[in-house]
Amino acid sequence: MRMKQLRIISPLAVLIVIVAALRQATTSAASASAPQAQASAPTIASVLDHEVSGVEKQIVDVAEAMPEDKYSFSPEMLNIPGAEYKGVRTFAVQVKHVAASNYFIWSPLTGDKLPEGLKDGDGPESLKTKADIVKFLKDSFAFVHKAAATLTAENMLQNPGNSKSTRLRLATFGVAHAFDHYGQMVEYLRMNGMVPPASRGK
């Protein structure tokens, strides 16, 4: 029940941030000169794209920071007394899961087919090296930017294709889901004695 509540709250939190950012950006644009305001007026797509860029940087930085020989690491390997990590994803599968989910969540917005070999949320089994996995991750975020660009004030409450969710719901959930797994991935780094890139120098 608690996990279900968190899944509901997380997209809602992202939506609140997006609405607040859109309102702030609109206010700032209104105070500028008329030509500038017309050229830089925020849109639902531009505000969402900004959120995507934020989580993209966090996750890609973490994926690149983890050494390749630690991509097979999972907390289960630590055998922590009293902990329950049996069967949790390795770091490699965490990264592939974020990338695969990007395609599954955002593809209804564009109508594009899933990449070849993508069958489930753990990503293609053929991807083994760090370089290939990170490329898969970066390619997925390039696709997310493409999908975010399709959102408009007119279509954001429409259900794309056969989806039971609106375009805005899919988009906000996509960002929230990525942030959720970023939070898990930074713990994988810390369990291996590494400070996550976003926390270095602080």
What are the boundaries of each domain within the chain?
43-199
CATH entry 1.20.120.450 includes domain 43-199? yes
Which residues in the chain come in under a pLDDT of 50? 1-6, 8, 26, 30
Q: Are residues 76 and 86 in contact, defined by beta-carbon separation less than 8 angstroms?
A: yes
Q: What is the pLDDT of residue 9?
A: 52
Q: What is the pLDDT of residue 201?
A: 79
Question: In this structure, what DSSP letter does residue 90 have?
Answer: P
Q: Which of 114, 110, 119, 91 is nearest to 190 (CA)?
A: 91
Q: What is the pLDDT of residue 14?
A: 60
Q: Are residues 181 and 140 in contact, defined by beta-carbon separation less than 8 angstroms?
A: no
